[in-house]
Structure 1
């Protein structure tokens, strides 16, 4: 189906990659309305989309790609977790498609996220002021890699804010608590949650026949994992369970299609930062003095490193009480 990818006019928001015949990764283009990756899966008699990007336009392009490749409307959409870069495009796919998530993810979307969107709509000027402040910081930034990433961040933020007045926040209408299987005429997919690691509840899509996992942000390829809402120990436990599945290829939440090697790298990152922050806490060392370990200096999402340290410090103090 590679000719189908070539014939699809494309999108500025993502690049289509064929993982295996009938399974496509939509890899986010930095600084656009995608931010996170998505995926398209041919079930034979139905089409499944995994995650829906940050903006309506990016989701419309994803829908167009899915319909072009499969010749039919999308039947199922999976939200791997509640973050906006995986859910804000949901409205494009309803009512034709069922939107699926874990019960906890839907509850968070219906409360915390909905409230946050209302606040953003009520006071957009505060967000634009924050973006302008970062633009000023970019002018002073001398590290070219960090400067580029900050530019991508603010461009994505502006895309989100431009889209926000037209957002019809669309919640999942099917939920599950452990596992759910969708049986297709060509392949089955298993929706699995082992609990919450990256967020309070994370799901992955496992395709046993093809030995593929579409992991959301449980696995990232050459990007700093985002630990803002994370439980690092549970995340490590979840990665151990994911590794026990029969997996050859991974479509990560961010970065290029990868393998178990990147799962190992994410696990190593979380363990490494836990050790660094635990040591700093014991020695009363300032987190500001900690620099990015050399193994991760070429990874993207550089701006999350400092906030990751702070998140881990809070978590260590919390469990130490």
Structure 2
């Protein structure tokens, strides 16, 4: 975090107890347990020590809100606040309280990045003052869920929508199908910052078997993102990146597609493809060991269906 950034967080306390000496056998058991605990991954240990909720200032009046493994942004203005993905009921409740510490202005808009519940549940917390916004294709899917915690969007658009509030401009842009068919990006032109959820992970492979994904459209969507004027890239999970990360992830999808396409054309089975396809260039990316085989599986199924003429 750069000098001058402000972080507001809720931490969880860890209570420790002192215990009297026991028999040697008990000590031996405790030592074995301590050894097992020390062998756990440093990543898990680091995660357990992080607060569940955290707010970090990104730029003037622009904040990053993280709730466990999810994150979103919000913008404060003299005329009200613009919030993106409320994540969950628990997250939104905490966030609303923290926003009140930063400004006495109400939340005027809540922007849904796409229809997936793990990012937008909890919007009802802001329903007393906010207008809810999404891409047009997200609205019917949210209606199907009939979840009272997710207010149905009041305002939708198909290509681009501008929100001007208190001297701030927020641009909502649809760049085509990618991780879903209704994902939008939030561009803050004055800050050269882009918020894009789930379809541009930062030096991380794609999520599992590309559920709800459209790989060919995804690549084209990333090309459109690369044409936008921004410098800072804020994803829905993980570390903040730069514009270059959109190009890097497009390269990953293109390389994955080409490698799997070669196996499909050879008539390889799914299991053969999963054993054969490797992309060493990306082995250092996060989740490669766990999710790369599933990425291969998702791409294989997609290309196989296209080969059969299925939509």
Q: Give the TM-score range, shorter chain.
A: 0.7 to 0.9
Q: Number of aligned pairs?
A: 261
Change in Cα spacing, 1:28 to 1:169, as seen in structure 2 (3 Å) is closer
Unaligned runs of 5+ in 2: 12-50
- Residues 189, 301 of structure 1: alpha-carbon distance in 2 compared, 3 angstrom cutoff: farther
Higher relative contact order (CA 8 A, sep 6+): 1
1:18 aligns with 2:18: no
Are 2:84 and 1:50 equivalent residues in the alignment?
A: yes
State the distance in 1 between where 2:122 and 2:67 align.
14
Report the secondary structure of 2:94's partner residue: helix
Quick one: distance in 2 between partners of 1:168 and 1:104?
Answer: 19
- CA change 1:249–1:229 in 2 (3 A) is same
More helix by share: 1
CA displacement at 1:222 relative to structure 2: 3.0
- Per the alignment, in what secondary structure is the counterpart of residue 124 of structure 2? helix
Kept in 2: contact 1:196–1:234 (CA 8 A): yes
- Aligned pairs for 1:26-45 within 5 A: 26-29=65-68, 35-45=69-79
Deviation at 1:207, TM superposition (A): 1.0
Q: Kindly name which structure, 1 or 2, has the bigger radius of gyration based on alpha carbons.
A: 2
Structure 2 partner of 1:299: 286
Report how far residue 109 of structure 1 moved: 1.8
The within-5 A match list for 1:145-164 is: none
Structure 1 residue ranges without an equivalent (≥5): 30-34, 118-166
Structure-1-length-normalised TM-score: 0.74
1:288 matched residue in structure 2: 274
- Give me the CA root mean square deviation: 2.3
Query: Do structure 1's residue 255 and structure 2's residue 255 form an aligned pair?
Result: no
- TM normalised by structure 2 equals 0.76
Is 1:86 paired with 2:119?
A: yes
Deviation at 1:319, TM superposition (A): 2.2
- CA distance in structure 2 between the partners assigned to 1:67 and 1:269 by the alignment: 41
1:72 aligns with 105
